[in-house]
Chain A
């Protein structure tokens, strides 16, 4: 991997400085139509102020991301990194908004924290009028249309770029209501987001479709802060149709991987609750299973049986998913048990098995005895998550000694 942090930091800082210099050229007090203010960026080429601000925020975000990488991988004093983050962002924001009155805020345990939300907060605290102007009228409408288009799009492709865009979208979602109601952001971002007129300005089904997109999970660290109140507004994510009473069983798990297995199971319970068993199962069979925003939420890959993923890699854990006990479809219990046995034959060092199914049978239990025994012998875990109606029950699969 060719990652040149120094070069990235230099490039991103140069870029942020460029946008800051453009922002500073724009008249901040030119009245109601201020959002139309454009700046020249070449022969006959202009861009508008809203775009400049967006790019400024983005480039600051990218710069801070890289500083985080430095902080993670290089043995540096956290205070130095923190100071650097503050210094960079302050300089950039001050140069972008020369007339703004900046105040140091959000001091946590004596250290200065700055994330893109905080940059937003800064902008609103110091240049609220400007942001209000930018986001009024056409610009705001354009952003709302963006929501609608994304939500309606049939080919809403799942890629890293969308996750990134959603982060940006999230930042805008926080800006819009704040600008709309003319308040200054406090630490209570969700309360402001709640004022977002999206729930009323977008048809509820569109909002639901947008939020239910499999890449906007209410439990995701990226999405929760941005979309939490919108999940609430759309009436999803909070409902609990699922009755889960397996804490004691899960807590009683032993083995080296205990903690990760518990994490995996809680994630599945949340996901099934949110998506419903059928959609969750389809996502598991279709999806790629690595990363905090994947259905498994794992930072390392896991195997799924059955799966459209044709990779032959053996992972530490396998998740088998089955729906229906009759017939021969590839997600039927009997077929899944067979596929699972094949998989474990190929990957005999698998330490963890989580079998999620809406049915179970003595035949399945019997058929998997050698595999369960083998997992037990390595101090691993085999767990069945049985989803029946609105009940989800974890059962530890043990070998019959």
Chain B
């Protein structure tokens, strides 16, 4: 597990995938994205906003890891992908090599978005996310967590140790079904 290094290149969307995902986000949770981007009510939520945020998440991610996620529709685990999370839990998923963006969304823990969730302190959000990751791994929803990179700068050392231990627990759980 290494601390994140500054990147020199960032992943890109394919044009069709970007259009599809932007349309989906606008139709499904525009209010969430308006919160995430702190958009003024008079401004429209645009594809450019969405694209820029998805890349910014990769640039500012506090957590990056590769894993295979369970796909309920296909009833199988997807090929390994890379997850990048920013400190508000906006998530950009890229191909395993990290070159192309597959999707980008705000993590609501399978519930409706609430404006308050963006105001929760980072220590709480990071703990909650790692807890979910551990439970998902326990239930075989996530397999083979690897290539973790973590940046917990600003948190006190003891809390950092706890968060890293939780990530390691999730990783061990994710190897349970190999």
Chain A residues within 8 Å of B, Cβ to Cβ: 1-4, 8, 11, 14-15, 18, 40-47, 51, 55, 149-150, 152-153, 155-157, 159-162, 164, 308-310
Say if the beta carbon of B20 comes within 8 Å of chain A: no
Give the contacting residue for B136; candidates A3, A4, A161; CB below 8 A: A161
18 further contact pairs, Cβ within 8 A, besides A42-B159, A45-B156: A2-B175, A2-B176, A11-B166, A11-B168, A15-B162, A18-B158, A41-B123, A42-B123, A42-B156, A45-B123, A45-B154, A45-B155, A157-B110, A159-B135, A159-B141, A160-B136, A161-B132, A161-B135
Interface centre among B110, B154, B155, B172 (most CB of A within 10 A): B110
Interface residues on B, range: 20 to 34
Say if the beta carbon of B39 comes within 8 Å of chain A: no
Are A164 and B135 in contact, CB atoms less than 8 angstroms apart? yes
Give the contacting residue for A149; candidates B111, B132, B139, B176; CB below 8 A: B111
* Interface contact tally, CB-CB below 8 A: 83
With A15-B165, A149-B114: A160-B123 Cβ-Cβ less than 8 Å: no
**With A and B bound together, what is the CA distance between A43 and B111 in angstroms?**
30
With A3-B172, A14-B165, A161-B136: A153-B158 Cβ-Cβ less than 8 Å: no
Are A155 and B155 in contact, CB atoms less than 8 angstroms apart? no
Q: How far in angstroms is the closest Cβ of chain B from A63? A: 12
Are B112 and A51 in contact, CB atoms less than 8 angstroms apart? no
Q: Which residues of B contact A153 (CB under 8 A)?
A: 110-112
Q: How far in angstroms is the closest Cβ of chain A from B152? A: 8
Are B110 and A4 in contact, CB atoms less than 8 angstroms apart? no
SS of B interface (majority):
helix
Q: Which residues of A contact B136 (CB under 8 A)?
A: 159-161
With A43-B154, A149-B114: A160-B135 Cβ-Cβ less than 8 Å: yes
Using CB atoms, name the residue of chain A closest to B152: A42
Using CB atoms, name the residue of chain A closest to B165: A11
Q: Which residues of B contact A3 (CB under 8 A)?
A: 172, 176
Q: How far in angstroms is the closest Cβ of chain B from A389? A: 35
Are A8 and B169 in contact, CB atoms less than 8 angstroms apart? yes
Give the contacting residue for A14; candidates B114, B132, B155, B161; CB below 8 A: B161
Interface residues of B in 115-154 (CB under 8 A from A): 121-124, 127, 131-132, 135-136, 138-139, 141, 154
- Contacts A/B (CB < 8 Å), 30 sampled: A2-B175, A3-B176, A11-B165, A11-B166, A15-B162, A15-B166, A18-B162, A40-B156, A41-B155, A41-B156, A42-B154, A42-B159, A44-B154, A45-B123, A45-B154, A46-B121, A47-B121, A149-B111, A149-B114, A150-B111, A152-B112, A153-B110, A157-B110, A159-B139, A160-B135, A160-B139, A161-B109, A161-B132, A161-B136, A162-B110
**With A and B bound together, what is the CA distance between A16 and B114 in angstroms?**
29
**With A and B bound together, what is the CA distance between A127 and B138 in angstroms?**
34
Q: How far in angstroms is the closest Cβ of chain B from A252? A: 39
